[in-house]
Structure formats: C-alpha cells, structure tokens
Structure 1
Amino acid sequence: MSAVFTGFGQKAIPFLKALDFHQNREWFHENRDLFEKELREPLGDLVETLTERFGAAGLGLRGDRKKSLFRINRDVRFSKDKKPYNTHVSAILSPDGTKSDLGVFFFYLGLDACFAAVAWWQPDAALLQALRRAIETRPAEFRKLVAALGKGGLEFGTQGAMKRMPRGFEHVVDADLAAAIRNRHFVVRQTIDPADIHTPALADQLAAFAVHARPLLDWGRAIQGSVAPQ
C-alpha cells in the first residue's frame, strides 16, 4: 500500500538553508537523518500519493520513491562549481515511471523556487519537428489547446526559446504561432507558496494543477503517436 503524504517537515527549508551554508559531506552525513525525515521521505510519500491521484484521474503519469526522486548530490565532474549538494529536492512522474520518458509532471522544492510543471521537455528532433509542424498546419487545434490551458490559469513558458524561427518555418507570420514554434520545450508551470508545503493540501493543489494541464499532455501524446520511432 502506498504511503500517504502528510506534508514536508517544518525544518525542510531551514535544512536546505543550512546545507547551502555548510556544503560539505561531513556536515551532511551528520544531519542525514534530518534530511530523510524532513525532505526525502515526504517527497517519496508525495510521489506515491500523486501516482494514485493521477491514476484515478486517468492522467497516465506514475512514479515511485525509488525511481522518481532526483539525488541531492550534484554532478560536479564538468562544473566549475564544486559544491557537492543541491539546495533543492525534486521528482518526476512520467508515463512509464522513469525519468527518461516524455510528457511528464515535475515537482521542485528549493531555496530559489518552489513549483510544479507539466512538460514536453527536450523532445528529440523528430518529435520537436512534429510538434512545431502541428502548430503550423493545425493552428485552430493549437489555439484551442492554449484556450483550454488558459481556463486553468496556465500559459506556455518561454525558457530556452529560439530567438529566430527554425528552418522551414520562416513563413509563419502569426505572432502567437511563431512564438510557440520557437519553443524548444512545451511547458506550463504553477508556482507553489513555500508556506503550503507542510500540509496534505499540497497534494490536492498539485493534483488540480495536473488536471488543468492535461490538455498539454493529450496534445503532445497525439502527436507523439504519429512520429515513427527513431
């Protein structure tokens, strides 16, 4: 039976602040039990609770506490910043329950931000081309998607968008379609008030957000299904 999310610990944010200050392995290992209790275990509970909620809603997203949580340790092999630890925790729920699938739900709790996102993030070249071509050739369908997201208070982010139109789409002149085609990712997100992370109501808030973002999942999946495997 899956665990029930009851909220992150009251010391979750203070722990991340202390970790940011100390940034050494000795301090972390001395305080690992606090990390597990206040952050990692609740995050695992949240993933399992959302998996049940998403399943009941037919969203086709799932995860578990072993595969879905990202590590607190940073990969510093190719980074000039050698701090060993992230100052956030995060997790992903996807159609197959892994971190490598597309059309996902992402949760991030950190010192710099707290948010949830539903995204087609870094689609491969064939899928990205197909998403862009769908916007170009079926504009009414895309605008219907935008309107459906708007009813839930959501709009596409522009992180990583190209400054110029990609090759083959230079003829698209409608401003809304051109802006969408320049995207490298298709993402909607909801900011979470850090004060809301300590109660079970956070799961309700995240589940409602995912339902509002469902049109993006459905749109991308329909296009994904038409793309030949690479």
Structure 2
Amino acid sequence: MSSGFSGFPKAGFDFLDELKENNTRDWFQANKKRYRETLQDPLLDFIQAMVDPLAELTPHFVADARRNGGSMFRIHRDVRFSKDKRPYKEHAACHFRHGLGRDVHAPGFYVHLATDEVFYGAGIWLPPSDALYKIRRAITDRPEAWSKVIEDKALKKMFGGVGGDGLQRPPKGFTAASPHLDDLKRKTFFLMHRASPEAAQKPEFLQDVVKSYKAAMPMMHFLCKAVDVPC
C-alpha cells in the first residue's frame, strides 16, 4: 500500500464492472491480485488520508486503514439468509464509525463506490428502536434545534436536505400534530451527496468528501447528542 491518495484508479472501476459479469468465487480468486492493487489498496490509502481531516472535524470518529476489521467494508456478501447467492458485493465502501460504535449504535460517515454511482455523506442507518426513539424524542423536545439543522445553508447546498425512508403514519408515541412530522416518521436519517466515478478518480475527491462531512456536522452533532454519545 502506498503512502498517499491520488484518486481511485479507473482500473478499480473496470474491475467492478467485470465483477458484475463474473460474480463467482473462481473468477474472483483468479483476479484477487487485481482487486487488491486497483481497488482495495487505493481505498486503504483513502482511509489513511482521512485520518487527520476527520480528526480536525471531530475526535470521536475513527478512520482505520486495516485490511480487516477497520473502516473498509468487506467485499464478501453475507448470503446465509438471502436468495441472492452472488458471493461478492459489486461496489466498494468504507464507513467512519464513532469510537463507541462497537458498543452503541451511533451515527457515522460513509463513502460508496460503484461503476454507475458514487456517493458519500453521513447519518445513522436503521438504528435500533431505542436509539430511533431517542432521536424522535429529541426532535420533538428541541424542534428549534432541529429546524436549525435542516435549514442550515451549507447542509442544504451540499445535500439538498435530510433523507431516509419513513413510515406512513406517525410513530407510536407521537401524533400528527407533532412538530417535524415528516422527519419523525423516518427510520433512517442520512445526508448523501452524489458524484460520478470520474470525480472519484481525481486527487481532489478527498477534499470533496471532507467538505461534505463538514457540511453534515450540524446533523451529526444533533444525532450524537440525541443518542448520548460525544461528537
């Protein structure tokens, strides 16, 4: 692994494109060296390059450039309970989780690389019921603070607004008259900025991601406070 990040090579996206057509263990084993050199190593370089910029934003989130057990997601799919038995994910991704993320379900930062789309941002994905209730309660108890989050100019310019699938009806314990009802219905809270594979191939991609994470901090502060973790 080299010491710096200069953009994700096109060869890595070419590998993912071929993987779509050859998603088998035999093909992957025959091309494992390509995977490491064109996709895994550049992603580890990216993670390592995020250590200092992430620490400047918040000291509580971790950029861990290990091959296993760190910020990089494994390319192997968990097919135990899936009808889709393809053994490998057809994208690469990393997640900068909270330092307490192994002990509590906390917000995090994310990067996703695929041949047809690249996106990055922050939030909390399908939190367990107790954490989700805390977030909903915080929105209800501090509606002005949540309004400042969703109306933040930098956040809206970068992401367009808060996303995340939601319920059709108000969640249990809340009513149709509750403030910010659309957000209370959410089961996931995320901010995602979409880019192109070509943009990810440039050295400036790192700073683009850092800029988006900075724009996401108002929501990250709110979510962390809601689930009782430092930010």
- TM exceeds 0.5? yes
Counterpart residue identity of residue 207, structure 2: D
- Count the aligned residue pairs: 222
Paired position in structure 2 for 1:110: 114
1:35-85 deviations in Å (ceiling 9; x for gaps)? 111111111111111121111233632221221111111111111111111
On the 8 A contact 2:140/2:178 being kept in 1, the answer is: no
Q: Percent identity?
A: 26
- 1:199 to partner: Cα distance: 2.0
Equivalent residue letter for 1:128: L
Q: Which runs of 5+ in 2 are unaligned?
A: none
C-alpha RMSD of the superposition:
2.0
Closer/same/farther in 2, CA of residues 99 and 40 from structure 1, 3 Å limit: farther
The answer to whether the Cα contact below 8 Å between 2:115 and 2:197 also exists between their aligned partners in 1 is no
Shift of 1:151: 4.9
- Structure 2 residue matching 1:27: 3-state secondary structure: helix
> Which residue number corresponds to residue 39 of structure 1?
39
Q: Does 1:92 align with 2:104?
A: no
Moved more, 31-40 or 116-125: 116-125
The CA deviation at 1:98 is 5.6
- Aligned in 2, Cα 1:173/1:96: closer, same or farther, shift over 3 Å? closer
Amino acid in the other structure paired with 1:125: S
Query: Counterpart of 1:133?
Result: 137
Query: 1:151/1:192 Cα in 2 relative to 1: closer, same or farther (>3 Å)?
Result: closer
Q: Is the 8 A contact 2:48 2:64 kept in 1?
A: yes
Deviations 1:90-123, CA, capped at 9 Å, x for gaps? 1110221867751100111113431112012222
Tell me by how many angstroms 1:158 deviates. 2.6
- In 2, are the aligned partners of 1:8 and 1:198 still within 8 Å (CA)? yes
SS in 1 for 2:95: strand
- Match for 1:170 among 171, 175, 183? 175
State the alpha-carbon separation in 1 of the partners of residues 101 and 49 from structure 2. 17
Among 176, 192, 195, which residue is 2:195 paired with? 192
Q: Is the 8 A contact 2:139 2:184 kept in 1?
A: yes
Q: Which residue of 1 aligns with 2:55?
A: 55
TM-score by length of 2: 0.88
TM-score between both structures, scaled by the size of structure 1:
0.89
Where structure 1 has 5 or more consecutive residues not aligned to the other structure, the ranges are none
Q: Secondary structure at the match of 1:191?
A: strand
